[in-house]
Amino acid sequence: MPESMSRQRKIIHIDMDAFYAAVEERDRPDLVGKPVVVGGLPNSRGVVATANYEARRYGIHSAMPASQALRLCPFAEFIRPRFDVYRDVSRQIMEILRRFSDCVEPLSLDEAYLDVTDSHHFRGSATRIAQSIKAVVLQETRLTASAGVSYNKFLAKIASGLNKPNGLTVIRPEEGPRFVHDLPVGQFYGIGKATETKMKKLGIHSGADLLRWSQNALALHFGKAGYWYALLARGEDPRPVRAHRPRKSLGTEITFAHDISDIQLLLEELERQTHEIMKKLNAHDWQAHTVTVKVRYDNFEQVTRSQSFRQAFDATQACLYVRQLLQKTEAGNRSVRLLGVTVSGLEETPETLLQPPLWQDESSKIEHDLF
């Protein structure tokens, strides 16, 4: 049994509140108290990156067309994002988190996991550490964070979302299973929209429904992922907090013997490379969230086009995306000397992290003093 499962862990998930919007409000006091929407502007077919909590009351949320946000709240302040500023603030936040643990895994600009199992701060109380993190972040960045404290990543992340904004929620080891019981399957780690729909068709709506299914029955319907879902349904998630990601990207490229301007040939080559990378990715049990196409024209001028997705993509989707990305270059109209594909934003495929017998061992002891 892996070390991570043999002992109760203490995991904290930190997630900044309405991150981009909060930074804008901080830097522009005239915005305070108003509905604020950060993202593309309504007249430019843009989408909402985020909205502050005032704007969310009108039903505005991330990824919504900005034009729709404008209809929902015509007097909201629409602001273009300042990514450089968000990146700097993010670095500042991650630096603060590293004062509390060596084991910090950033998930995005405004989100991170910490493993504080072995921490001596506050006599090892994860709850007190989370309180202190929130206080230091507020003091040094003038921004609020929400924290979730639990015994694995899955539940720590659920917990941080429960009392937003400025929340602190603890799911203690003995509360985990009951908690998962009532959780809609769409909120389970690794269950995307397609799987959620499939589960609902099978009558699986909540953790309790999931728990009624045997591991084998789930595996029959969902493949290896079925074992993963069975584990989550028991409130278990053995994924370690990874302070160092072993790999950030995987790519391939080719310099042609003769420059190519035939778009069909270029698309075929792109597809070949994409299949090759996706095969490698699968062999490593990794999945990717970003895909990038690189084109060097015959005069050595080089462009890249990339796109990121919340959900990891498969080979078929990747092939579609790279085609779309190539169309955004001048390849075909101009001759191409080099063509390449890279996937990044890598993470381990959740369901392959474990094999079926792992959680049949009931010996994992629950210690929860000072949780």
What is the DSSP secondary structure assignment for residue 102, as one 8-state letter? S
Strand pairing of 145-150 and 168-170? parallel
CA 302 to the chain's CA centroid: 30
- Which residues contact ligand TTP (rule: CB under 6 A)? 15-20, 49-50, 62-63, 110-111, 164-165
Selection from ligand TTP, Mg ion, none that 49 binds (CB < 5 to 8 A by kind) is ligand TTP
Nearer to ligand TTP, 16 or 260 (CB): 16
Stretch that binds Mg ion, among 11-19, 137-145, 254-262, 295-303 (CB under 5 A): 11-19
Backbone angles phi, psi at 107, to 5 degrees: -105, -35
User: Would you count residue 70 as binding Mg ion (CB under 5 A)?
Assistant: no
Whether residue 275 contacts residue 252, with contact meaning beta carbons closer than 8 Å, is answered with no
Nearer to ligand TTP, 85 or 338 (CB): 85
Selection from ligand TTP, Mg ion, none that 147 binds (CB < 5 to 8 A by kind) is none
Please list every residue from 115 through 144 that binds Mg ion, using CB under 5 A.
Answer: none
Nearer to ligand TTP, 16 or 73 (CB): 16
Among 77, 105, 110, 271, binds Mg ion (CB under 5 A): 110
CA 278 to the chain's CA centroid: 20
Selection from ligand TTP, Mg ion, none that 20 binds (CB < 5 to 8 A by kind) is ligand TTP
Burial class of residue 126, CB neighbours in 10 A (0-12, 13-18, 19+): buried
Backbone angles phi, psi at 287, to 5 degrees: -130, 155
Q: How far is the CB of 62 from ligand TTP (least distance, A)?
A: 4
d(CA 143, CA 355): 41
Selection from ligand TTP, Mg ion, none that 277 binds (CB < 5 to 8 A by kind) is none
Whether residue 48 contacts residue 76, with contact meaning beta carbons closer than 8 Å, is answered with no
**Can you read off the two tokens belonging to residue 160?**
């941080």
Q: Which of 47, 52, 46 is nearest to 23 (CA)?
A: 52
Selection from Mg ion, ligand TTP, none that 286 binds (CB < 5 to 8 A by kind) is none
Backbone angles phi, psi at 170, to 5 degrees: -115, 130
**Can you read off the two tokens belonging to residue 88?**
């700097």
Q: How far is the CB of 38 from ligand TTP (least distance, A)?
A: 7
Stretch that binds Mg ion, among 33-41, 51-59, 85-93, 104-112 (CB under 5 A): 104-112
Q: How far is the CB of 146 from ligand TTP (least distance, A)?
A: 7
CA 303 to the chain's CA centroid: 27
Is 362 among the residues known to form the active site?
Answer: no
Stretch that binds Mg ion, among 103-111, 225-233, 321-329, 355-363 (CB under 5 A): 103-111
Q: How far is the CB of 135 from ligand TTP (least distance, A)?
A: 18
User: Active site residue: 25, 111, 236, 269, which one?
Assistant: 111
d(CA 357, CA 297): 53
What is the DSSP secondary structure assignment for residue 76, as one 8-state letter? P
User: Would you count residue 24 as binding Mg ion (CB under 5 A)?
Assistant: no
Nearer to ligand TTP, 50 or 274 (CB): 50
Nearer to Mg ion, 23 or 295 (CB): 23
Inter-CA distances, 3 with 212, 239, 309, 358, Å? 28, 11, 32, 12
Q: How far is the CB of 184 from ligand TTP (least distance, A)?
A: 17
Give every CB contact of residue 74 below 8 A, 6+ residues apart in sequence: none
Binding site for Mg ion (CB under 5 A): 15-16, 19, 110
Catalytic residues, by residue number, are: 111
